[in-house]
Structure 1
Amino acid sequence: MSDSDPIPPGARAQKKEEARTAIADAVIALLVEGRLDLNHDAVAERTGLARRTVYRYFPDRESLLGAGTDRVRQLAGPGVAFPRSEADLTGQLEAIYTGFDKIAPITTLVRSTPQGRAMRKANNKVRVERYRAATADAVKSLPPDDQTLATAMLQVLHTTPWLEMHDHWELSGEQIARATGWAIRTLLADLRARGNRPLDE
């Protein structure tokens, strides 16, 4: 192939994917370094890519930070994802919590630093949509405000306890999955039994 030959479509797609991955990895690296400036300029400097290239793939800060969060989930393993059904609320737990163990230093930063929380917040619209869909049947009889409260609590149990249970109790991902699985099953059973009674009754 000469220098003037066009890049094959497959190679072009691969190059784009490599650039996107490099950008997402740079966001994580900057987080690990404790950098406060998780932005396009810092990522361009870190990757050696042109600033306009970073903007082409991720046109605003929210999408840039979201790419970092997506990459964290990818590094943790294929089972670490937002739920698509009620069954996923318990069925994904071991994959999620053992995946968090696998990348514990990164998970800790994502869960405990302002930059990490900003990364997680960038995916919040999708997060809320997925959890509302996954819990819709379980909470459907509750008053509207309580539907949100119950869904939020189920979401917290699905991913959030790792940091506290890992750090303060020195529990493994498998143990955390068992505990949160019990708690989620208990709440789902309560929701089925309570009908339209408010959560504080």
Structure 2
Amino acid sequence: MLYGTPIARRRDAQRNRAAILEAASEVLAEGETVALMPEIARRAGIGQATLYRHFPDRLALTAAVVTYQLEILETRVAGYAGDPAGFRALLRAVLHSQIELCGLVKLVRRFDAGLQERFRRRAINAFAVPLSRAIEHGHVRADLVPEDLSLLFTMVQGVAEATDDVRAARAAADRAVDLVLDGVFRPA
């Protein structure tokens, strides 16, 4: 920042940052709870010095990846705002994404409680409009509130973490998603 005016990042720096966030998301989607900085740099196609210029440590990188994933979530959810009947498909897709990013969720637990709460609140707030529309149109139980979604995410996370066998965890989480969604949605 120069004299109170933010300085825009150079295009190559923006490209590098995006590549780092995507590479870190991939590594974490593979079940890694320790995102190895050299592996992330390799996948991003950059040197480690460039990675550390953007993110001085794993904590900073993890916070940025969470923010990046929340932006993806918000974009995805906004696309369903006008489709109340599509809320089930949306929630299912988001819960599957959560299973895929189980390693990231584990890392978030290392953050202080205030930061964890801000991330949780942002995720829940993203669903407010599509959820209210799905309720209005009778697709979702009328007593469901946005906070209930946090409970759903926690339940699915617990199932996903119940075993070290990634395939078994995904299968169990998949079943949990079906059971959870059947409890949320009204019968057709």
TM-score of the superposed pair, with normalisation by structure 2: 0.51
Residue 107 (structure 1) aligned with residue 98 (structure 2): yes
Q: Which amino acid aligns with 1:107?
A: Q
Residue 24 (structure 1) aligned with residue 21 (structure 2): yes
What corresponds to 2:71 in structure 1? Answer: 74
Q: After superposition, where does 1:129-148 map in structure 2 within 5 Å? A: none
Report the CA distance between 1:43 and its aligned residue: 0.9
CA distance 1:54–1:69, shift in 2 (3 Å): same
Across the aligned residues of Structure 1 and Structure 2, the Cα RMSD in angstroms comes to 4.2
CA contact (8 A) 2:19 2:44 kept: yes
What corresponds to 1:88 in structure 2? Answer: none
Report the CA distance between 1:124 and its aligned residue: 4.5
Answer with 1 or 2: which has the greater Rg: 1
Report the CA distance between 1:51 and its aligned residue: 0.6
Gapped runs of 5+ residues in structure 1? 1-8, 81-94, 132-153, 180-201
Structure 1: distance between partners of 2:91 and 2:17: 22
2:117 to 123, 128, 151: 128
What corresponds to 1:42 in structure 2? Answer: 39
Q: Which amino acid aligns with 1:62?
A: L
Tell me the SS of whatever aligns to 1:170. helix
Q: After superposition, where does 1:46-65 map in structure 2 within 5 Å? A: 46-65=43-62
Structure 1: distance between partners of 2:87 and 2:55: 26
Q: Which amino acid aligns with 1:44?
A: A
What corresponds to 1:116 in structure 2? Answer: 105
Tell me the SS of whatever aligns to 1:72. helix
CA deviations 1:23-68 (Å, max 9, x no partner) are 1111111122233540322211211211111111111111111122
CA contact (8 A) 1:24 1:71 kept: yes
CA contact (8 A) 2:21 2:68 kept: yes
Report the CA distance between 1:73 and its aligned residue: 1.5
CA distance 1:29–1:79, shift in 2 (3 Å): closer
| Alignment size in residue pairs | 134
CA deviations 1:160-197 (Å, max 9, x no partner) are 41327974261687974x79xxxxxxxxxxxxxxxxxx
Tell me the SS of whatever aligns to 1:34. coil
Structure 1: distance between partners of 2:12 and 2:90: 28
CA deviations 1:60-94 (Å, max 9, x no partner) are 111111122122222223487xxxxxxxxxxxxxx
Tell me the SS of whatever aligns to 1:67. helix
CA contact (8 A) 1:66 1:120 kept: no
